[in-house]
Amino acid sequence: MHFSKLLKAFVHSISGIRFLLKERAFVQEIFLGVLLCVTLVFSQNTIDEILYIFSSYALVLISESFNTCIETIVDRISSEKNPLSKKAKDIGSATVFIALLHLGTVALLLIKF
């Protein structure tokens, strides 16, 4: 891959992150990550446990990113209420919820003080 293509991909990624940082749910999840970092500073976890907790946290951010993507596409197609649009948005939301449950379970099982 040429450097110019890598640079374009990087610029598009930064643009996407800027968009996500304007989304309330994503910002709330970033705040959750900050709280998680503060908690882990005072914990007595091994590096392996910390990495597992952060990979679980990454799933939350990834899920929220895809959920925002789905919502954006559905909103672009039509602003009318439609059962399929609701289904797509609800499934996206459920994905984030499952990721949050996973993170919560991992954190409760692994974080040691």
Q: List residues with catalytic annotation.
A: 64
Cβ neighbours of 53 (radius 10 Å): 21
Neighbour tally for 7: CB within 10 Å: 10
pLDDT in tens, 62-105: 999 999 999 999 999 998 999 999 999 999 999 999 999 999 99
Read off the pLDDT of each residue in 4-19 and give the average, rounded to a whole number.
95
Kindly list the structural domains of the chain, giving each domain's residue range(s) and its CATH number in brackets, ordered by start. 3-110 (1.10.287.3610)
Give 29-35's long-range contacts (Cβ < 8 A, gap of 24+): 29/60, 29/61, 29/64, 30/61, 32/57, 32/60, 33/57, 33/61
Q: Is the pLDDT of residue 3 over 90?
A: no
